[in-house]
Structure 1
C-alpha cells in the first residue's frame, strides 16, 4: 500500500510545478507595467432645442375623450408640419379613470397626450411653440448637443486625449528611471453633461394666457464633453 503513495505524491508535486509555470509567465508579462489615465475636455454649444407639449382633458365618456384629445393633437401636428426643419414625433399617451371620493366608482376618465418637437433652428421652434401654446401646455424645454456636433467634438478630443496620455506616460517613465515606454493597451470613453434648461416664469406666463401667442425665450448654454483615455504602458528600464 505504501509503495504506491510515494510515487503518486512525487507525480502530484511535479504536475503542480509544471502548472505553476504559466502563472509565472503571466506575472512576467506585467513587469514594469503602469496603469494611467488622462483626459481632455471642451465646452460644446447645445445646438438642438427640444420642446415637449401636451394636451390633457377629461370626460365621462372615454370614446369622446379620446376623440377630443386626438382632434387637439392632430391640429397641432398639422400646424407643426408646416414649419421647415422641425422634427416631430408623438410622445406618450395615457388615459386613466377618475374615481369618486370613496374610491370605488369610476366617475370619469382623464387622458394626456404629448408632442415632442426638435430643431436646430431655435427661432422657428420658439415661434411655433408660442403658437401651439394656445391649444397645448408646456411640458418641458430642453437643449442637447446634436449628433453631428457631438461626433465632430469627439474626433477633436480624441487627439487631445492621446497627446495627454502620451505626456503622462513619458512623465511616469522619467519618474521610474526608464529609457522609454510602449503602450500595452488604450481605451477611450466619452462623457457629455447636458444640462436641460427651462424657464419656469415663461411657462407660468404662457399657461395663464388663453389665445395670445407667447414666444418662449431661450438660453441653450453649453455642455462639457470629456474624452478619457485609460491604458497601460510598459516602462523600458535602463
Structure 2
C-alpha cells in the first residue's frame, strides 16, 4: 500500500507540471511587437586632401636604378617634411624586368616608388604638390572625410536617428491605441562615408600650377546617413 501511495503522488506531481507548461509557454510569447526603421542624414565636408606622387625610371643596371629612385624619393621626403601641416606616407615601391621582343631576355629594369601626402590644409598641400611636381609625377588627387570629422558626424547622427526612431515608435503606438511602448532591440548602421574621392589628375594639377602658385581646391561634401532598425512592443490599454 505505501508503494501505491508514493506512485500516485509522483503521477499527481507530473500531471501538475505538465498542466503548467501551456501557461509558461503563453507567458513567453510576446504580442504587439512591431519592426520599425528610421533614418537621419547630413552633408559632411570632405576635409582631407590626399595626393599620391611617384617617380619611375628604367636602367640596365638594377643597383644604379635603385640608387637613383632612392635619391629622388629622399629629396622629395626632405622637402615635404618642411611642411608641418602635411602628413607623409610612403606608398608602394616595386621593380620589374624589361624583356626584349625576340629572345625574351632581360634588357633592363623599371622601378617605381610612391609618396602619399595627406592634409586638411588644402593650400599648403597644393603648394607643396606644385613644388614636388618638378621632380615627381602625380598619380591622383583624392578627397576624404577625416577621422575626427567622421566621429563627430556619427555622434550627431546617432542622436538624430534615436530621436527619429522614438518619434516613429510613438506614432505606431498611437495608431494601435497603446498606452506606451518598450524597445525590444535597436541596431544602428551608417552609410555614405566615402572612400577617398578621386578628383582630377596630373594634367589638371599641372595646368593649375602653371597659372597660379597656390590653386584653390574645392573638395565638396558627401551625404552620409545612419539608420536605426529595431523592434518595439506596444503596451495596450
Which TM-score applies when normalising by structure 1? 0.82
Structure of greater Rg: 2
Q: Does the 8 Å contact 1:133/1:214 carry over to 2? A: no
Aligned counterparts, 1:61-210, within 5 A: 61-102=61-102, 104-194=104-194, 196-200=197-201, 203-204=202-203
Show the counterpart of 2:230: 231
Matched residues in 2 for 1:141 and 1:86: separation? Answer: 14
1:117 Cα offset (Å): 0.5
1:226 Cα offset (Å): 1.1
Show the counterpart of 1:9: none
Aligned counterparts, 1:34-53, within 5 A: 34-53=34-53
Superimposed CA distance per residue, residues 129-168 of structure 1 (whole angstroms, 9 cap, x where no aligned partner): 0000011111111111111111111111111100100111
1:66 Cα offset (Å): 0.8
What is the number of equivalent residue pairs in this alignment? 217
1:62–1:25 distance in 2 versus 1, CA, 3 Å = farther
Q: Which moved more, 1:158-167 or 1:99-108?
A: 99-108
Matched residues in 1 for 2:56 and 2:212: separation? Answer: 19
Superimposed CA distance per residue, residues 77-131 of structure 1 (whole angstroms, 9 cap, x where no aligned partner): 0000011211001001111111111362111111111100111111100000000
List alignment gaps of at least 5 residues for structure 1. Answer: 1-13
Matched residues in 2 for 1:137 and 1:66: separation? Answer: 17
Q: Does the 8 Å contact 1:197/1:220 carry over to 2? A: no
Matched residues in 2 for 1:106 and 1:186: separation? Answer: 62
List alignment gaps of at least 5 residues for structure 2. Answer: 1-13
1:199 Cα offset (Å): 2.2
